[in-house]
């Protein structure tokens, strides 16, 4: 079946796990004369990313130790590729959020370290796969693994990391956690496939876009925060609060990622700009511009999405920018950040809870 086919059967209106996104939950387009806020310059809670990391510096070191230990394989190419991508660093935001969430829920043990490493393994597996699917050439400031080692090796090592994360989950010996992670990884896989179905389709709606980003990105943040709450033995309301926090944090994070794909310093971002346009991905900045740009520019935008490619990147970026697509997306990211912070209202106040708030601020103020 062609991936662009969009009938209800393909999308499934039935038992698939849904994010619950509804169009009514999305703010109406900006009124005339409205000036959307630009990104904030730094976390409002006064904590920069480094301060947040410092709070759990010991735990983060342990996470790195576990990652290195668990990567090891007796197959040389597995080690080469996994060390290549993991050694390039990355922001480690997901493990950071797991560590902070566990501590914010009062957890005193050390199993959250393994949980954080599991989340980073899954994230890394999805990156290896995603760069193949997106045909990306730069990641974490380096040539992508697919560019260096080829698509086949990247996909297979992604599978290695995925399955290793499941071995690690078994070692946590908690059936609820295994259930949460099994559902989450399945949802992520569906998200990437849904995205493929939307590719090259200028009719993609905001609703479909939000469904994709919930599944492919927010769900992992959500699962990480939930796993932390479960480890901490948190009450059901607190566990639900952590789920909501992760979901809104992850959504804000991906909205900003989709802005940065058009407006960032590629050196600082560590990725090439225009990867989304190259693959004909109708991300929110484009969807908005398709509904608000002058007619002649809309025609060009439609063609750019249908055909993909980077020939028109500059002109398309100008169109998106002047139609307000980047500001609109940034505004919705800000709203998600607010919802993430609101979700923390019933958590006991602590440095960790404050750091979770600051992490939400980082998600929308980030430039990398």
Stretch that binds Mg ion, among 188-196, 198-206, 255-263, 343-351 (CB under 5 A): 255-263
Tokens representing residue 110 in the block: 């050390």
Work out how close the CB of 132 gets to ligand IPE at its nearest, in angstroms, rounded to a whole number: 11
Among 68, 66, 190, 180, smallest CA distance to 126 is for 190
What x/- string results for residues 113 through 152 when contact with Mg ion is judged by CB under 5 A? -----------------x---x------------------
Of the candidates 6, 91, 142, 263, which one interacts with ligand IPE according to CB under 6 A? 91
d(CA 274, CA 264): 10
Residues in the chain: 368
Work out how close the CB of 283 gets to Mg ion at its nearest, in angstroms, rounded to a whole number: 8
| CB under 8 A, 24+ apart: contacts of 41-47 | 41/365, 42/361, 42/365, 43/358, 43/361, 43/362, 43/365, 44/361, 45/354, 45/357, 45/358, 45/361, 46/358, 47/354, 47/355, 47/358, 47/361
Work out whether 136 is an interface residue with ligand IPE (CB under 6 A).
yes
Work out whether 201 is an interface residue with Mg ion (CB under 5 A).
no
Of the candidates 119, 127, 218, 243, which one interacts with ligand IPE according to CB under 6 A? 127
Work out whether 279 is an interface residue with Mg ion (CB under 5 A).
no
Name the strand (E) or helix (H) holding 258: helix 236-260
CB burial of residue 204 (10 Å; 0-12, 13-18, 19+): buried
Work out how close the CB of 361 gets to Mg ion at its nearest, in angstroms, rounded to a whole number: 20
The entry of Mg ion, ligand IPE, none that residue 336 binds, CB within 5 to 8 Å by partner kind: none
Residue placing its CB nearer to ligand IPE in the complex, 142 or 240: 142
List of residues contacting Mg ion (CB under 5 A): 130, 134, 257, 261
């Amino acid at each position: 079946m062609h991936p662009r086919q969009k009938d209800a059967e393909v999308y499934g209106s039935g038992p698939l796990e849904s994010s619950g996104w509804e169009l009514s939950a999305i703010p109406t387009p900006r009124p005339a004369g409205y000036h959307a806020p630009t990104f904030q310059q730094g976390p409002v809670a006064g904590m920069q990313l480094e301060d947040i990391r410092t709070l759990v510096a010991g735990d983060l070191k342990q996470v790195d130790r576990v990652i290195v230990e668990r990567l090891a394989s007796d197959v040389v190419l597995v080690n080469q590729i996994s060390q290549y991508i993991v050694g390039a660093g990355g922001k480690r935001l997901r493990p950071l959020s797991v560590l902070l969430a566990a501590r914010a829920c009062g957890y005193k043990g050390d199993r959250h370290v393994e949980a954080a490493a599991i989340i980073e393994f899954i994230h890394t597996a999805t990156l290896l796969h995603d760069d193949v699917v997106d045909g990306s050439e730069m990641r974490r400031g380096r040539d992508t693994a697919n560019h260096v080692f080829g698509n086949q090796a990247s996909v297979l090592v992604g599978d290695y990391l995925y399955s290793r994360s499941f071995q690690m989950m078994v070692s946590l010996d908690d059936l609820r956690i295994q259930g949460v992670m099994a559902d989450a990884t399945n949802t992520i896989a569906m998200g990437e496939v849904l995205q493929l179905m939307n590719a090259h389709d200028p009719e993609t709606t905001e609703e479909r876009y939000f469904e994709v980003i919930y599944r492919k990105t927010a769900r992992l943040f959500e699962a990480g925060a939930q796993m932390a709450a479960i480890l901490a033995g948190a009450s059901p309301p607190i566990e639900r609060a952590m789920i909501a926090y992760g979901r809104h944090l992850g959504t804000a994070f991906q909205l900003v990622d989709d802005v940065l794909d058009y407006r960032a310093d590629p050196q600082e971002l560590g990725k090439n700009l225009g990867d989304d346009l190259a693959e004909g991905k109708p991300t929110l900045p484009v969807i908005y511009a398709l509904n608000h740009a002058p007619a002649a520019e809309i025609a060009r935008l439609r063609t750019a999405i249908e055909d993909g490619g980077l020939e028109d990147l500059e002109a398309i970026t100008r169109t998106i920018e002047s139609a307000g697509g980047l500001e609109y997306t940034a505004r919705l990211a800000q709203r998600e950040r607010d919802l993430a912070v609101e979700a923390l209202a019933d958590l006991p106040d602590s440095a960790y809870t404050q750091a979770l708030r600051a992490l939400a601020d980082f998600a929308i103020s980030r430039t990398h």
